[in-house]
Amino acid sequence: MSLPQRIEGLRARIQHACEAAGRDPATVELLPVSKKQPLSLIREAVGLGFTRFGENYVQEGAEKAAAMPELGFVLLGALQRNKAKAALQHFAEIQSLDRPELAERLRRLAEELGVVRPAWIQVDLWDEATKLGGCTERDLPALIDALGDDARLPLRGLMAIPPPDDDGAFLQMATLRDRLQQGLGRALRLSMGMSDDLEAAIAAGSDQIRIGTAFFGERTR
């Protein structure tokens, strides 16, 4: 199947999921996940109207950002403190913020570099942090405090990787988002849902779905 055919199929799935949920498809962002994908395929996706791509690894994403500076790359994978500067230099957004000390380091570096990088907090409500990273609900207040309403690292929303085959996990995230919005007094976006479960994520209110295999096809490396 060609890239245009896969994208057409995804858009049809998004359309049907939004119709079932009573949502406008325009409110759901399709973020292609381009890790381990060649530049040629990313350029083909650009030709089809995409300008933002998710990457899991700082070094790989930085290389792609350097090769295609006109695009916006979003860091989805775990971020180590020693790679924080490179992440701020090469990524348009950081979606894997999961601990106060990382927030504090990113704030200091963002000020030094003179950049603004929206941040998403990666949340783990299901004891998956040892495998995938993420901030527990208990630790969320400390992490939000560490962000300190810093204009250089504005909180954009919440990202999650729920356990497979647990559609209720999406509703847990939606409920958490609602509580945080009320407490903070501002809107937060939700990034959740991937190739196999985008329908359940959209039904629960996800604003962004992160799609790898169903978008680009199986990775070649």
DSSP E strands, the chain: 29-32, 52-55, 72-75, 93-97, 119-123, 155-160, 189-191, 208-211
pLDDT of residue 50: 98
Assign domain 3-216 one CATH number from 3.20.20.70, 3.20.20.10, 3.40.1130.10, 3.30.9.60: 3.20.20.10
pLDDT computed for residue 133 by the predictor: 79
Q: Greatest CA span in the chain, whole angstroms? A: 47
What is the CA 55 to chain-centroid distance, rounded? 9
- Report the residue count for the chain: 221
Residue 112 has pLDDT above 80, yes or no: yes
Q: What is the mean pLDDT of residues 70-81?
A: 96
Residue 155: the pLDDT is 97
Per-residue pLDDT band at 130 (split at 50, 70, 90): low
Per the prediction, the chain carries an average pLDDT of 95
At 36-56, the pLDDT tens digits run: 999 999 999 999 999 999 999
**Residues of the chain above pLDDT 70, percent:** 97
* pLDDT (average), residues 192-196: 94
Looking at the predicted structure, is the pLDDT value of residue 72 above 90?
Answer: yes
- 167 pLDDT higher than 90: no
Domain ranges for the chain = 3-216
Q: Give the whole-angstrom CA distance, residue 221 versus residue 73.
A: 20
Question: Across residues 155-180, what is the average pLDDT?
Answer: 92
Q: Does pLDDT of 129 surpass 60?
A: no
